Structure 1
Amino acid sequence: MNANPSFDDGLDRLEALVQQLESGSLSLEEALARFEEGVQLSQSLQKQLSEAQRRVEVLKAGLGGEYRADSLDDAKESR
């Protein structure tokens, strides 16, 4: 697995790991390896989300605080 997958690729991999673990078909060693990979991946994804949130906050501050969170909802609805 790439050390820094894209967010979408990482999320897909995490979902696959969860499915494998939930299937109950893995040996204990395989399950532990998948679980460890999942923990590391979830930490990486959380870091990416935190960075994205920080970037949004910087952009909001650059707009003089005029930006509102519900603006995203309005933009989605207008598509």
Structure 2
Amino acid sequence: MLLDTLAAFLAADGSPTRAADELCCHRNTVMHRLRRIESLTGHEVTDPRARLLWHLALLGTRALCPHRGPA
């Protein structure tokens, strides 16, 4: 769930509203999940370097687990 939220957030160019539309959930749900991601990774969603790292991590995850779908 967190990886899907992160992927949607990054694909939406950092827009929690567009990510929520993609995930068919409320914007606040996306924001809550993003705060959990920040807590787990120690990086903030507002940091462009963190977004790059997360994007690369998602690409690696998708390469290792192709059944999870595209990043």
Q: TM-score range by the shorter chain?
A: 0.3 to 0.5
What TM-score comes out, normalization by structure 1 length? 0.30
